[in-house]
Amino acid sequence: MGETPDKEYLELFLEEARDYIDSLNELLPKLEKNMENLEVINEIFRLMHSLKGNAGMLGLENISKLAHKAEDLLAMVRDGRLKLTKEHVKLLFRVLDKLNEMLSLVEQKATDKEADISEILKELEKALATEEKSEAPVSTEKAKEALEFLRKLALSEEKPKEVFEALKNVSKSFDKVSEHEVSKESKNVEDEDVDKELFKLSDVEREKALDALARGLQFYKITLKFKETPMFVLRYFVALQKIGELGEIIKTIPSGSEVSQTKTYRVAILAAVRKLNELDEVAKEIPDLESYDARKVDIEALGIREDEVSMKAESTTDKLAEIENLLKKVEEKEAETRSLLAEEQQQSQKLGEVRVNVKSLDTLFNLVGELVLVKSRLAAIISKYDIPNIKETLATFERLVSELQDEVMRMRLVPLQYVFRNIPRYVSELSEKYGKEVDVYFEGSEISLDRKVLEDLAEPLFKLIEILIRDDIEKAEERSRKGKPGVGTIRLVATREGNHVILTVESDGRGIDAEEVKKRAVELGLVPAATVEKMGKEEALMLTTLPGFSLRNGAWSGLDSIKKAVEALGGTLEIYSKVDVETKFLFKIPVSMATLRALLVKLGTTPYAIPVTSVITTIKLTDRGSVGQADVVKYQDKILPIYDLAYLLGIDGASDKKYAVIVEKRGKLVALAVDEILGQEDIVVKPLSRILARAKGLAGATILGDGRVCLILDPLSLIP
Amino acid sequence: MVDRKIVVFKLGKQMWGIDLKYVREVVRVKQYTIVPTTTEYVLGVFNLRGQIVPLLDISKILNVERESSETAIILNYNEEAVGFSVDNVVGVINVSDNEMLPPPTEAGDYVKGVLRRDGELISILDTERVLETIEQAEITQ
C-alpha cells in the first residue's frame, strides 16, 4: 500500500473529502431532529462509504477504518437492526470531527498515520455490539438495497396476512380433530421430556420452521418405533427422506449423527408438512416400522409468535437466497478487485484508471451473467403471484442488474489493437511461405471488443488472412502482368455500429468468380443445380463457406470454419468480390456477450450444461446402495438421495448411471446421476425462445463448438 | 389482382399455406436438440446461424400424420424466429382475396380459409393462432 501517495491524487481526494464533510455537517443535524429519516441515513451511509473507499485507495487507513465503522453503524440502523439514539448521533458528530482533524493532518503530512482513532473506534464497536450479527462490508449497495426492499415486499404482510388468517382458521378446526385423537392416548413422562427437547429449536431450526410456516406447512411431531434390526440406521434415513419429501424436517431425536449410538429404536421427528394424511400414507412405506404416531404441534409450543410469521412464496424465497448468494460473491470479487487496486495503485498512471486481475474480472463477469439468469427466473416466478408493489421493485431490480452487467461488460472491453499488432509479423511470415509480397494496413484499431470475443475472433481472422495471401493475392509477376502494383494489399477496417463491430478484411488480388463458385458447388454435390441458378452474386459467394468447398485448384478451402467461428460468437459473415479488383470479407460481431462457467454433463449422447455455481462437486457413484425404494449414495459422512437427472427431465436413459453431480437444495445435498461428466467450460448464454418459456428446469441454451445447441439446466428447480 | 403471397407447403397428405409476410426463410435442419420438459409440439431447438430457434411440429395441432423431414419454414413471431417442420415447400403463389373461401367447419380452428389451385385444396393457416396454442400449451408430465 502507498505510504505517501502522489500529491496530485491527495489533492483530488482532499477536495472531494471536504465536500463530503460539508454535506455530513448539514445532514447530521437533520438526523438529530428526526432519527427515523431513512433518506438522511442512506445519504450519510453513502458519503461514509465513498469516503472509506477513496481513503482506502490512497492507503489512508485510519480514515478508511473510521468511515467504515461509521458505515457499519448506519447500515445496521438502515436495516432496522439497531435503533438510533441521541448517543449514536453524538458519536457520529465526533466521528465527523475526527475525520476533519485527520484530513488536516493529511493536508500537512500526506498521511493519517499519526492520528489516534483507537478510542472513537472502541465506542463505535460498542455501539455495533448491541447487535450480535456483524455486517458484511457493503458494496454494490444499490443492487443490495433493491434486494433488501424486494425481500421485504416478498415478506410483506398486506396480502399474505389474509392468507395466513384463513390458514389459521383451517388449522383450528384441524386442532379439534387432533385433540380428540390425542386425548385417547396416554402421555407418559418420558414423552414430555422428549417434547421439551424436540420443541427447543436452535437458530437454524427456528429459521427452517419459520420458512416452513411461510410455505403454509403444518407442524407435526412424529414418533416412529422401529423393529430391532441392524438395519435400523438405514431405516431411519429412509424415513427422514420420505418425510422430508413431504415438506421439511425441522428436528429429530436422535439426530443423524447420534442415531448409530442409540439403542431405543425410537425416533421423534418434528416435521412440517402439508397434510396429515400425506404423512399417514408415507408412514406405510417405511419398512420395519412397529408403530407410528403423528400429532399436530402448535407454533406456540415451538416458541414462535404469530407476528413473526409472514407468508412468502416458496420459490421466491429460494431465488432470493440464490440472488443474495450471488450478490455476495460479486461483492467479494469487488472487494478483492479493490484490494488489488489498492496494491497496484502506485504503479497506475491515473487515479481514474486501475489494473485489475483478469481472472477476478472473469469471475465477476460470470457471476453477473448468472445473476442475470436468476433475475429472469425470478421475474417469471413473480409474474405468477399478485404481490403489491413487487412489479415496480422487480423493474428497479432488473434495471440495476442490467446496469451492473453493462458496467462489468464495459470493464472487459479490449481494443482491437491487441489482435492487430500481431498481424504484420504473421503476414510477413506467410508472404515468405507463399512467395508473395503483401502490405497490411489497419483502421479502427482503437475500437474495443469484449476480451473473450476478441480472443475467439483472433483465430478465424488469422486463418482468413492466410487464405487471402494463399488464394487471393497473386505473385508479383502475375500482378504486374495485370497492371497491378507488385505488392498486394490487405486492409483491415473496423467500425462500430450500435452493439456491433463491423470488421472488413479486404485484399486486392484475383477475387472470387461467383459463376465459377456456382458450377463448382454443383459439381461437388453441395447444392442442387436448380437452387444455384436463381442465386444472386452475393448468395453464390457464400457457397464458398459450405463445408467441403474448394475450387478445382484447391483455392478458398477452409472458409467454413471461419463462418462457423463467427456464428458461434453470435456474428455474421458476408463476402463481396470483384474479379481481379478486390475480395472483401465483412464480419459483424457483437461487442460483448454474456458468458457463464458451466459444468457439461452427458445424458445418453446429449450434453447438458449446469452453471457451476449450483454445483458442490462431482463424484463417481461407487458407494451406492438402495435403501428401501430409495437410491442413496454415501458422500463424506452423509447419505444422499440420488435422483436420476434423465428421469427428472422426463427422458429415458440407462438406469445405472456411473457419475453424479452434487447440488444443494435448501441446505440439503442431493446427488444427480448422469452418464458422463465432460468438464467445465465458459459458455455463451443465449436466451430460449419465448415459446419455450413454460419448459421446466431450463435456464437458457448455448451453442457448443460443434454447432450443436446445448441446454443450460436449472437443476434446483427440477428436484422435487 | 394480387392481394397476398402465400407460401405453399406439404404436410401429411395435404397442402397448406402460410402468408408470406410471416415467413423469414426456408431452411434445412440437419440436427436439432431435443428439449425435454416441454410439450409434444416442440421437437427441439436448433442453431440457425448462431441464433437458437425452436423447431415446432404443427402436425400434432393440425391433426395430420406425417413422416419426419429436414425442411423447416422459419417464421417471425413476436420478433423471434420459430421454425415449422414441414414435409416440403412447394412454392410461393399469388392469391387475390376473392379466391379465398371460408373454411369448412370440419377444417378445425387453425384454418383461416381455403383456396383451390390446379385441382388441389390449400388450407391457409391461422399462424398466430397455431403459435399461441403452442405457447400456451400446458406441460403434462
Residue of B nearest to A688 (CA): B52
Q: What is the pLDDT of residue A189?
A: 45
Q: pLDDT, tens digit, for every residue of A414-424?
A: 899 989 988 98
CB contact under 8 A, A703 and B47: yes
Give the separation between CA A262 and CA A249, rounded to whole angstroms: 20
* Spatial CA neighbour of A404 closest among A499, A331, A497, A325: A331
The answer to whether residue B86 sits within a structural domain is yes
Interface probe for B, chosen from A542, A652, A688, A692 (most Cβ of B below 10 Å), is A692
DSSP bridge partners of B48: B51
Contact B50, B70 (CB under 8 A): no
How many domains does chain B divide into?
Answer: 1
Q: What is the pLDDT of residue A348?
A: 43
Residue A153 Cα to chain centre, angstroms: 22
* A118 has pLDDT over 50: yes
Do residues A174 and A260 both lie within one domain?
yes
CB contact under 8 A, B141 and A650: yes
Return the DSSP state at A306: G
CB contact under 8 A, B34 and A651: yes
Q: Sign of torsion, CA A693 A699 A700 A706?
A: negative
Q: What is the pLDDT of residue A582?
A: 94
The answer to whether residue B47 sits within a structural domain is yes
Residue of B nearest to A706 (CA): B47
**Mean per-residue pLDDT, A316-321:** 64
Contact A513, A579 (CB under 8 A): yes
Q: What is the pLDDT of residue A455?
A: 86
**Helix/strand/coil for A621:** coil
Give the residue with greater pLDDT, A464 vs A287. Answer: A464
Which segment, A612-616, A712-716, B17-21, is predicted with the most confidence on average?
B17-21
Q: What distance, in Å, lies between the first and last C-alpha atoms of chain A?
A: 51
Give the residue with greater pLDDT, A669 vs A337. Answer: A669
Question: pLDDT band at A309, cuts 50/70/90?
Answer: low
Do residues A252 and A335 both lie within one domain?
no
Task: Identify all chain A residues contacting B82, using CB atoms and an 8 Å cutoff.
Answer: 689, 691
Q: CB neighbours of A367 closer than 8 A, spacing ≥ 6?
A: A326, A329, A330, A333, A613
Contact A662, A673 (CB under 8 A): no
Give the separation between CA A643 and CA A657, rounded to whole angstroms: 10
CB contact under 8 A, A690 and B33: no
Task: Identify all chain A residues contacting B54, using CB atoms and an 8 Å cutoff.
Answer: 688-689, 691-692
Question: pLDDT band at A313, cuts 50/70/90?
Answer: very low
Q: What is the pLDDT of residue A145?
A: 56
DSSP characters over chain B = ---EEEEEEEETTEEEEEEGGGEEEEEE----B--SSS-TTEEEEEEETTEEEEEE-THHHHT------SEEEEEEETTEEEEEE-SEEEEEEEE-GGG-BPPPGGG-TTEEEEEEETTEEEEEE-HHHHHHHHHHPPP--
Mean pLDDT of chain A: 80
Question: pLDDT band at A308, cuts 50/70/90?
Answer: low
Mean pLDDT of chain B: 88
- Residue that is last in its domain, among A559, A590, A621: A590
The count of other CB atoms within 10 Å of the CB of residue A510 is 19
Q: What is the pLDDT of residue A180?
A: 36
Q: Which residues of chain B are at the A interface, by a Cβ-Cβ cutoff of 8 Å?
A: 31-39, 42, 44-47, 49-54, 56, 77-78, 80-82, 131, 134-135, 137-139, 141
Give the separation between CA A533 and CA A44, rounded to whole angstroms: 73
Do residues A364 and A437 both lie within one domain?
no
The answer to whether residue B10 sits within a structural domain is yes
Q: CB neighbours of A384 closer than 8 A, spacing ≥ 6?
A: none
Do residues A583 and A640 both lie within one domain?
no
At B10, which CATH number? 2.40.50.180
Q: Sign of torsion, CA A111 A113 A116 A122?
A: positive
Host domain of residue A514: 415-590
* A477 has pLDDT over 90: yes
State the nearest Cα–Cα gap between B98 and chain A, in angstroms. Answer: 31
Do residues A7 and A97 both lie within one domain?
yes
Give the separation between CA A688 and CA A380, rounded to whole angstroms: 13
Alpha-carbon separation of residue A114 from A101, A108, A678, B125 (angstroms): 11, 12, 57, 82
The answer to whether residue B44 sits within a structural domain is yes
How many domains does chain A divide into?
Answer: 5
Do residues A133 and A147 both lie within one domain?
no
Give the residue with greater pLDDT, A53 vs B84. Answer: B84
CB contact under 8 A, B52 and A710: no
Tell me the percentage of chain A whose pLDDT exceeds 70. 83
Contact A346, A183 (CB under 8 A): no
Residue B25, exposed/middle/buried by CB under 10 A (0-12, 13-18, 19+)?
exposed
Do residues A34 and A130 both lie within one domain?
yes
Of A178-192, A549-563, B32-46, least confident by mean pLDDT is A178-192
- Residue that is last in its domain, among A532, A559, A590: A590
Do residues A427 and A354 both lie within one domain?
no
**Mean per-residue pLDDT, A100-123:** 86
Of A142-146, A199-203, B68-72, least confident by mean pLDDT is A142-146
Do residues A462 and A564 both lie within one domain?
yes
Q: Sign of torsion, CA A545 A546 A547 A548?
A: negative
* Whether A711 contacts chain B with CB within 8 A: yes
Strands (E), A289-412: 289-297
**Mean per-residue pLDDT, A313-331:** 65
Give the separation between CA A584 and CA A579, rounded to whole angstroms: 11
Q: pLDDT, tens digit, for every residue of A44-84?
A: 988 898 888 888 877 888 898 899 889 888 888 887 778 88
Contact A95, A44 (CB under 8 A): no
Residue of A nearest to B56 (CA): A691
CB contact under 8 A, B45 and A695: no
**Mean per-residue pLDDT, A678-683:** 84
Residue of B nearest to A697 (CA): B37
Q: What is the pLDDT of residue A466?
A: 95
Question: pLDDT band at A182, cuts 50/70/90?
Answer: very low
Task: Identify all chain B residues contacting A697, using CB atoms and an 8 Å cutoff.
Answer: 37
**Mean per-residue pLDDT, A345-372:** 68
Q: What is the pLDDT of residue A228?
A: 79
Strands (E), A254-379: 266-273, 289-297
* A178 has pLDDT over 50: no
Tell me the percentage of chain B whose pLDDT exceeds 90. 50
Tell me the percentage of chain A whose pLDDT exceeds 90. 23
Q: What is the pLDDT of residue A133?
A: 39
Q: pLDDT, tens digit, for every residue of B49-71?
A: 878 999 999 998 888 888 888 99
Give the residue with greater pLDDT, A150 vs A517. Answer: A517
Q: What is the pLDDT of residue A276?
A: 81
* Spatial CA neighbour of A643 closest among A720, A536, A537: A720
Residue of B nearest to A590 (CA): B50
The answer to whether residue B141 sits within a structural domain is no
Pure H helices in A497-644: 514-523, 529-533, 537-542, 559-568
Query: Which of A571, A703, A711 has the CB atom closest to B35's CB atom?
Result: A711
Give the residue with greater pLDDT, A362 vs A156. Answer: A362
Do residues A296 and A379 both lie within one domain?
no
* A492 has pLDDT over 90: yes
* Spatial CA neighbour of A590 closest among A575, A574, A568, A561: A568
* A6 has pLDDT over 70: no
**Helix/strand/coil for A520:** helix
Question: pLDDT band at A338, cuts 50/70/90?
Answer: low
Contact A567, B50 (CB under 8 A): yes
Q: What is the pLDDT of residue A169?
A: 40
The answer to whether residue B81 sits within a structural domain is yes
Q: Sign of torsion, CA A602 A605 A607 A610?
A: negative
Host domain of residue B49: 4-136
- Residue that is last in its domain, among A558, A590, A622: A590
DSSP bridge partners of A596: A683
Return the DSSP state at A687: P
Give the separation between CA A121 and CA A59, rounded to whole angstroms: 18
Cell of A287: 419398512
**Mean per-residue pLDDT, A668-686:** 88
Interface probe for A, chosen from B49, B52, B92, B128 (most Cβ of A below 10 Å), is B52
* B98 has pLDDT over 60: yes
Do residues A402 and A471 both lie within one domain?
no
* B137 has pLDDT over 70: yes
Q: What is the pLDDT of residue A578?
A: 94
**Mean per-residue pLDDT, A267-277:** 86
Q: What is the pLDDT of residue A126?
A: 86
Q: Sign of torsion, CA A689 A692 A694 A695?
A: negative
Q: What is the pLDDT of residue A277?
A: 82
Do residues A218 and A341 both lie within one domain?
no
**Helix/strand/coil for A298:** coil
At A105, which CATH number? 1.20.120.160
Cell of A120: 472513537
Residue A68, exposed/middle/buried by CB under 10 A (0-12, 13-18, 19+)?
buried
**Mean per-residue pLDDT, A208-222:** 82
**Mean per-residue pLDDT, B82-107:** 88
CB contact under 8 A, A691 and B54: yes
Question: pLDDT band at A713, cuts 50/70/90?
Answer: very high
At A357, which CATH number? 1.20.58
Task: Identify all chain B residues contacting A590, using CB atoms and an 8 Å cutoff.
Answer: none
* A132 has pLDDT over 70: no
Q: What is the pLDDT of residue A26?
A: 81
Q: pLDDT, tens digit, for every residue of A9-53?
A: 777 788 888 888 888 888 888 888 788 888 888 889 888 988 888
Q: What is the pLDDT of residue A540?
A: 93
CA dihedral B44, B47, B53, B55 (to 10 degrees): -40
State the nearest Cα–Cα gap between A382 and chain B, in angstroms. Answer: 18
Strands A606-611, A595-603: pairing is antiparallel
Q: Sign of torsion, CA A90 A94 A99 A100?
A: positive
